Structure 1
Amino acid sequence: MTIELRDTLRLPCGATLPNRLAKAAMSEALGTMDARVTPKLVKVYERWAQGGIGLSITGNVMIDRRALAEPGNVVIEDERDHELLTAWARAGQSGGGQVWVQINHPGKQTPKGLNKETVSPSAVPFRKDLQMMFGTPRELREDEILDIIRRWGEAARICKKAGFNGVQIHGAHGYLVGQFLSPHTNQRTDAWGGSPENRRRFVLAVYDEVRRQVGPDFPVGIKLNSADFQRGGFTEEESLAVIAELSARGVDLIEVSGGTYEAPAMTGATGPKKDSTVAREAYFIDFTEKVRQVCSTPLMLTGGFRTPSGMKAALNSGAVDVVGLARSIAVEPELPKRLIDGKAPLFPIKPLITGIQRIDSSGLLEVQWYTRQIQRMGKGKAPVPNEHPLKALLVYLLASPIQLFRARRVRAS
C-alpha cells in the first residue's frame, strides 16, 4: 500500500500523528531575557498549526537556568510559566496536529559570557578558530550529572502537565547528550566515559528518567546524530548501537541528523553530497536505511527535502516514517497543506550566500536568517522570503552583544 503525506502514524506508546509532516526544531529566540515563555511563541506556533502540520517540535527549550544555549531561550525547570505553557500547547494543537517540546542542555556549546560557566563531560576546548566565541568547559562532577538527568525528567513532567503532546530529547548537534556520546568531548575514565557502553550511559539514563516521570502513554522522542563528522568523534556504528538500545526501551520517534557547531552537517555545510543522496533529496537517508536494519521504531528525517514526490518516495522506501520540515516552513508556514495536496513549495530553499566564504560555510548565517523569519511571525508579521542575507547578518552582529549583556544582567540580578 502506498504511503501518502496525509496518512496517520501510530507511535509505540499508542498516540497517533495526524499526518507524516513534522516541523523540526528551530531556534526561535523568543523567550524573555530571563528565559520565560512569551505570547510571541504562542502566536508563531498557532501560525504553524493552521498551516496543516501534523507535528510541531519546539526549538531548544533548556532544563537549567544556569545553562542557556543562547539569549532568548526558554527554560522549563519549574511551573512558574504554567499558564503560558498551556496557551503555547493549545496554540500548537489548534490545527489538529500535535506539539512536542524539545528539551535540552547545551553543555559547553554556548557563547562566552552568557552563562557564569559552562560544563561538559570533560574539559575539552573548541578548536582554535572558535575559542574566541566558546569557552573551555569545566568537567562535570557525578552529582551534577545525576542532577541534570533529574532535570530532564522534571522538564518533561511539567510539559505534560501543561498539555503538550510529547517531548523530544535533543541528543544531536553537539549539545550535552552529544558531548557524552563523543569520545572527542568525553574523555572521562569513570562509569560515564571511556567505552562506547559507558559513553551512552548518560543518554539512556536521561531517557529512562523522562519515561519514569511521564509514564508509558506519553510520546517521548529523541534527536540523534548519525555521526559528528569530526575526527575522533561519534561514529555511525556507535549511533546505531545507541538507537538499538533506545528502541528496545520503547522510544517513540527517532529523528536523525548530524554534525556539531564545529562541523555543521545539519545545514548541508560539510561539502558535496553523493549523487544518490541528491537524487533522493534527504541529507541522511543513507543512514536511516541502516537504522531500519536494527530497529522498527518510527524514524523522522529532516534536511534536504524539496518536493512532494521526494518526500513520498522516502516514506515508501521504508527508510523514513515522518518527513521533517525546517527552513522551508520558516518562510512558508502554510507549506504542509500545499505538500499534502501534491503542490511544490512557493519558495524553494536555496543556499544563503554573502560572498564571505568563512561565513557562508559556518552555518551561522543560515540559523540567524531563518530565526529572523520566525521572529517576524511571532510579531504577527509574514516572513520575507527574499530578505538579503547580509541584512540578517548585520542585525545579528549588532544585536548579539546587546542581547548577551542584557541576558547576563537580568540573570545576575
Structure 2
Amino acid sequence: MPTNLLNQPLRLPNGGVLRNRLAKAAMSETLATYDNRPTPGLVQLYRRWGASGLGLIVTGNVMIDRRALGEPGNVVIEDESEMAVLRQWTQAATAQGSALWAQLNHPGKQSTRGLNAFNLAPSAVPFREDMAAFFDTPREASAADIQDIIQRFGRSAALCKQAGFDGVQIHAAHGNLINQFLSPHHNRRSDDWGGTAEKRRRFLLAVYAEIRRLVGPDFAVAIKLNSADFQRGGFTEQDSLATIHALADAGIDLIEISGGTYEAPAMSGALHEPLKASTAAREAYFLGFAEQARATTRVPLMVTGGFRTAAGMNAALRSGALDVVGLARLLAIDPDAPAALLQGRDSTQQVRTISTGLKAVDRLGIMEVLWYARQLKRIARGQAPRPAESGLAAFLKSALGSGWGTFRTRRLRVR
C-alpha cells in the first residue's frame, strides 16, 4: 500500500491536533446506572479503545437533561455531582494519546413510550403509523422550553471541559431534537424557530453559540449532521449544505456527516442495500455528499458509515473529500481494529446486517443499536465480543432489559 494516510495528524480550527485520521464515532453504550450516572464499565470500555491507537474517540449519547432520555442507561451531565467518575472516564480514554469528545444530545420526540414523563419536539408531530405504538406524540416546545434546552447544552459542555474532555460533539443527526428543528417534516412552527430554512437553523446555531460562549475558543466544538433525513418532506441535502456553510461561518471545528432517523435508518446502512457496485467499491455511505460539501468549505469533515478496509479508507482520504474516517460498529466487535488499520491491515472482523427474522422488528432497524450495545457491555465487563451472537436472542434479551430499565428509570425519577 502507498503511504498510509490514516497515520497523518490533523490540526483543527481551534488549534487542537488529532494524532491520526481514525475516529471512533458515537455508539449508544447505555452503561450508566438507571439514575443516569456514569459507571466503571465506561472507564473499562474507553480504556480499551484508548489503547487501540485511535486519534479521536467520540462518546455515545450524553444527555443534557435527566427528564429527556433517549434510552435507559444514558449518561446525563447536568451538574458536578459525578465529576470524579467523569474524570476517571476521560483519563482512561486519553492516557495513550487519543482525544475524547462527549456527544451531547437531547432526543426530542425520539424516546420510547414510558421512559420520560413527556417528550418535547418543535411541533406535535407523531411517528409514522407502524411506529406510533412505541413512541408517544410529543408536546410542542414552548419558547421557554427552547431557551432552557439551549442553556442546558452550554452548561453540559462546560462541565465536560471541567471533567477533562477535549471537546464536545453536538448531535444534530439521526432524528434527535436538533435534527427535528432542522426538518420541515418535524418543525411546523410559524414563530422565530420555524417557517423558513433560516429559522429552522436558528435553534442549532443558538446551541452552538451558547456552548462556544461557555467553553471558549480553544475547546473543540464539533457537530454530527445529517446529509439528509431520507424522509419525505424532511431535511434535504440542499438544507444540509446551507447548514454546513452557516456552521463554518460560526467557527465549528469539525463536521461529521451521517444521515437518516429512526424512521429512515440510513446511518446503519438499511437504506443502502443492495449497494451499487460503484458505491460498494467506495465503501462509505455518505462520501458523495462529502464531496459536495468539500467543494464549498474547508472545515474538517468526518464521514462515518460503510468503511470496511484500510484501502477504502485511504482512497477516501486521498480523494480529499474528508479528513477523518469514522468507525463505529466495527469497534464493537473488534475493539483493537485501529491498531491493524494504522499498520495498513484490515480487521479480521466484518460488520454484518443483524436480523431477528421478525419482519416488524427488522424493518425498524433497531438491532443496529441493540445488538452492538450488547457487545459494548461485554467489553465493559472485560469479556470478548461475540460477533456471531444471534440477532433474535439479542433482541429478546435486550427487550427484556429495556423494559426493566424503563420501569426502574421511572421509579427512580418518582422518588
Structure 2 Cα separation of the partners of residues 395 and 277 of structure 1? 35
What are the Cα deviations for residues 82-101 of structure 1, in whole angstroms up to 9, with x where unaligned? 11111111011022111100
The question of whether the paired residues in 1 share the 8 Å contact of 2:357 and 2:392 is answered with: no
Matched, 1:379 2:360: no
Partner of 1:272: 274
Match of 2:404 among 383, 390, 402: 402
- Matched-pair contact (CA < 8 Å) for 1:20–1:54: yes
1:361-392 CA distances to partner (integer Å, 9 max, x unpaired)? 32111211100000111111111112121221
Read off the aligned partner of 1:64 and give its amino acid letter: D
Q: Distance in 2 between matches of 1:182 and 1:217?
A: 31
Instruction: For 1:373, give the aligned amino acid.
Output: Q
Counterpart residue type for residue 381 of structure 2: K
The reply on whether 1:150 has 2:172 as its aligned counterpart is: no
Is the Cα–Cα contact under 8 Å of residues 283 and 303 in structure 1 kept in the other structure?
A: yes
> SS of the residue aligned with 2:7?
coil
Residue aligning to 1:353: 355
Q: 2:315 is matched with which residue? A: 313
Contact 1:223 1:256 in 2 (8 A): yes
Superposed CA offset, 1:127-165 (max 9, x none):
111111000000111011011001101100000011111
Q: Helix, strand or coil for the counterpart of 2:76?
A: coil
Report the TM-score, using the length of structure 2 for normalisation: 0.98
Q: Secondary structure at the match of 2:224?
A: strand
- Contact residue 4 and residue 342 of structure 2 kept, 8 A: no
Give the TM-score, by structure 1 length.
0.98
Are the counterparts in 2 of residues 32 and 38 from structure 1 also a CA contact under 8 Å?
A: yes
Report the counterpart of residue 162 of structure 2 in structure 1: 161
Cα distance in structure 2, aligned partners of 1:130 and 1:43: 35
3-state DSSP class of the match of 1:409?
helix
Q: Quote the Cα distance in structure 2 between the aligned partners of 1:312 and 1:146.
A: 43
The alignment status of 1:323 with 2:329, answered yes or no, reads no
CA contact (8 A) 2:64 2:104 kept: yes
Instruction: Identify which of 284, 299, 302 aligns with 2:301.
Output: 299
Query: Is 1:120 matched up with 2:121?
Result: yes
State the SS of the aligned residue for 1:223: strand
SS for the counterpart of 1:168 is strand
Mean alpha-carbon deviation: is it higher for 186-195 or for 269-278?
269-278
Provide the rounded CA distance (Å) in 1 between the counterparts of 2:148 and 2:375.
36
Correspondences of 1:98-247 after superposition (within 5 Å): 98-247=99-248
Q: How does 1:34-113 map to 2 (within 5 A)?
A: 34-113=35-114
Distance apart, 1:275 and its partner CA? 3.1
CA contact (8 A) 1:288 1:319 kept: yes
Q: Contact 1:277 / 1:285 at 8 angstroms: preserved in 2?
A: no
Question: Counterpart amino acid of 2:179?
Answer: G
Q: Are positions 1:11 and 2:7 aligned together?
A: no
**Contact 2:255/2:300 (CA < 8 Å) preserved in 1?**
yes
Distance 1:230 1:319 in 2: 25
Q: Equivalents in 2 of 1:354, 1:147: separation in Å?
A: 40
Match of 1:342 among 332, 341, 344: 344
Q: Determine the C-alpha separation between the residues in 2 that align with 1:406 and 1:258.
A: 32
Query: What SS does the corresponding residue of 1:87 show, helix, strand or coil?
Result: helix
Quote how far apart the aligned CAs of 1:48 are.
0.6
Other structure's SS at 1:5 match = helix
Aligned mates of 1:3, 1:390 — CA distance in 2? 39
Bigger CA drift: 366-375 or 347-356?
A: 347-356
Deviates more, 1:392-401 or 1:138-147: 392-401
Distance in 2 of aligned mates of 1:244 and 1:274: 30
Q: Distance in 2 between matches of 1:267 and 1:79?
A: 34
1:100 is paired with a residue whose SS is: strand
Name the CA distance, whole Å, in 1 between partners of 2:182 and 2:4: 34
Matched residue of 2:27: which SS?
coil
The whole-number CA distance in structure 2 between the counterparts of 1:112 and 1:390 is 22
User: How far does residue 51 in structure 1 lie from its aligned partner after superposition?
Assistant: 1.1
- State the AA in 2 paired with 1:399: G
In the comparison of the two structures, how many residue pairs are matched? 413
The one-letter code of the counterpart of 2:270 is A
The CA deviation at 1:279 is 1.2
Q: Distance in 2 between matches of 1:257 and 1:192?
A: 24
Structure-1 residue corresponding to 2:286: 284
Counterpart of 2:315 in structure 1: which amino acid? Answer: A
Q: 2:236 is matched by which residue type in structure 1?
A: T
Alignment partners' CA distance in 2, 1:360 and 1:307: 26
Q: What one-letter code is carried by the residue in structure 2 that aligns with 1:348? A: Q
CA contact 2:4–2:344 (8 Å) conserved in 1 = no
Matched-pair contact (CA < 8 Å) for 2:356–2:395: no
Q: CA deviation at 1:278?
A: 1.4
Letter in 2 for 1:127: R
Q: CA-to-partner distance for each residue in 1:20-59, whole Å, 9 max, x for gaps?
A: 0000000000001011111111110001111111111000
The CA deviation at 1:252 is 0.6
